[in-house]
A and B are shown apart, each in its own frame.
Chain A
Amino acid sequence: MSGTQAVRALRLPRIPLTLAAGIAILLVALVLAAVPQLVAPYSPTAFDYKAILKGPSLAHPFGTDNFGRDILSRTIWAYRVDLQIALFGTIFAAVFGTLVGAVVGYVGGWAEIVFGRVVDMIVTFPFLVLVIAIVAVLGPGLLNLYIAVSAVGWIYYARIVAAGVAVQRRLDYAAAARVLGYSTPRIVLRHLLPNVVSAALVFWMTDMALCILLGSSLGYLGLGAQPPAAEWGVLIADGKNYMSTAWWISIFPGLAIVTTGLGFSLLGDGLADLLRPRR
């Protein structure tokens, strides 16, 4: 590494505002998910028949539901479940899709043609309908939700990575690595993939936001996390019959979804800005 390069590497890149905001939101979310018992003022499942359907107050900032359960505490405990949905609903698709994409992009030729057809077939299938159908057959619950989402979701990562690797493998440094006699897995994993993976990483952030929306939608419909587990979609469904009289039961968990989704989107946008090659 030459002197100027070393200096440049030492200087921190300017962190875009969107990225900082995204990181801040998600850090708070992570803390809430990690230690809800330290942050939540009440137990998420404790009934309190003296405080039924109470509006927001100092004692219950987000109000209480029809069993007197504290909505703030339930919303905080739900961070754990919904962030878990974001992670487990995407991680298998991200890893598997990236590997498939790397192989397809490197092999090229017939593999690219076959893969292109597979993509065409799967993307015409309405994602939500397919996931709902799979969950309907396998049964409601988070594990089956993960299976359903992963079964479909990997294709999007594979498409992004395949396109990137196909470009990289034609560049000089890839040829140089081949001339040096490196093994194919080494060329793909150590040399090509690192130059491609940032696009997949940015998509992963959006994907986690989408997965929370999907997970809470299924929770709302009764097909995702099962009560009494505190999950935002389930919490919103709990309050839907009280919307006119006790709006707080549904509104506050919804705001948690919106802010967390925004956090992932901002992080994704910020990463995209940061990782975009400078000219």
Chain B
Amino acid sequence: MPSLGYVVRRVLQMVPTLVFILVVTFVLVRLLPGDPLSAIAGDRVTDAQVAQARAAYGLDEPLLTQFLIYVRHVATGDLGRSIVVQAPVRNLVTERLPPTLMLTAMSVLIGVGLAVPLAFASALRRGRAADFAIRAGAQISLSMPVFYIGLVLLTVFAAQLRWFPVGGYGDDWGERAYHLFLPAVTLGVSLAAILMRNLRAAIIEVLGAEYVDFARAKGLATRVVLLRHVLRNALISTLALLGPTVGALLGGAVITESVFAIPGIGRLMIESIYGRDYPVIQGLTLILALLVSLAFLVTDLIQAALDPRVAR
């Protein structure tokens, strides 16, 4: 386990990041032309509502005071009210978060599940046809927009072959996994390409290490050497990608959820943009950024636990 000192230091490092996220989301709604009030409360409001909102958000106060009021609201879990749905943003987020989280988790599983065997196949046959084919495939999938992959999978496997539903979300876990499978493959394919490239390079590097020669010289079976020594050490360097990866996946979820009509926060984001529902856009940006910085934190802590050199 990483030392307590490292954990504390790493958590403290999040403070400027959190301040930055709060500043960006605060400034965001104030970038709109006109009175920020119309962004926060909408245009169709009574005079009484205007006065109430002005007081609640301190809109007549200096900007710094407004910011502190915003921070206090966020700290108490108050993310504002949706203009369109007339409900607290917090409720909308908690309602729509589970599909997105499940989609992200499934994408990571599929991405890793594809990347590990392909990286091994590629690294162990370096310079040969299989290696070339796998790397070309990765390069092509990296050049494909997520919505395009999704649209093709949707048409072939849902609309034509009818193996999977065309979109939506289920009522129980099995049905949900079934509904989210194609979207998760969509995101997982792009993820696998990135992971595969790094893992392949790491495996090739580890294969040249002395401890691998030693393990072989000890007479360990190739499979044992590959799994226990090579994969384990190669995965540590690839783990560093987890934080940025979750960021990319949550961004990709915004698009994938739109393609597959999944009621997650990505689709909520797009709906809110169409509906000019700025409090929701602000709240979602905040939540997504928080999730990603959390992923960065977890990545660093896991890495420190696996590799003590990181925590120094």
Contact = CB atoms under 8 A, between A and B. Distances in A.
Interface stretch (B43-51, B84-92, B151-159): B151-159
Interface in B1-34: 13, 16-17, 20-21, 24, 28-29, 31-32
A151 to B, nearest CB: 10
Contacts of B282: 133
Contacts of B129: none
B168 interface: no
Contacts of B254: 128-129, 132
A123 B154 contact: no
A130 B28 CA distance: 10
B145 A221 contact: no
Nearest to A135: B273
A127 interface: yes
A92 interface: no
Interface residues of B, number: 50
Contact of A265 (B24, B142, B292, B293): B142
A213 interface: yes
Given A121-B17, A133-B28, A137-B31, A243 B142 contact: no
A127 B147 contact: no
B244 to A, nearest CB: 7
Contact of A121 (B20, B31, B273): B20
Nearest to B19: A121
A209 B146 contact: no
A136 B281 contact: yes
B32 A220 contact: no
Interface stretch (B58-66, B174-182, B245-253): B245-253
B125 to A, nearest CB: 20
B29 A137 contact: yes
Interface string A194-236: 0000000000000001000100110011110000000001001
B281 A133 contact: yes
A123 to B, nearest CB: 7
A126 B292 contact: yes
Interface string B272-289: 111000100110110011
B29, B140, B143, B274 pick with most chain A CB within 10 angstroms? B143
A120 B289 contact: no
Nearest to A250: B151
Contacts of B284: 129
Contact of B145 (A138, A213, A223): A213
Contact of A243 (B13, B28, B159, B251): B159
Contact of B250 (A129, A134, A262): A129
A49 interface: no
A63 interface: no
B233 interface: no
Contact of B269 (A132, A222, A258, A259): A132
Given A121-B17, A236-B151, 10 more contacts: A117-B16, A120-B17, A124-B296, A126-B251, A126-B289, A129-B254, A132-B251, A217-B255, A236-B147, A243-B151
5 contacts: A122-B20, A124-B292, A125-B292, A137-B281, A217-B147
Closest 8 CB pairs of A and B: A128-B251, A261-B143, A121-B20, A243-B155, A126-B247, A136-B273, A124-B293, A254-B148
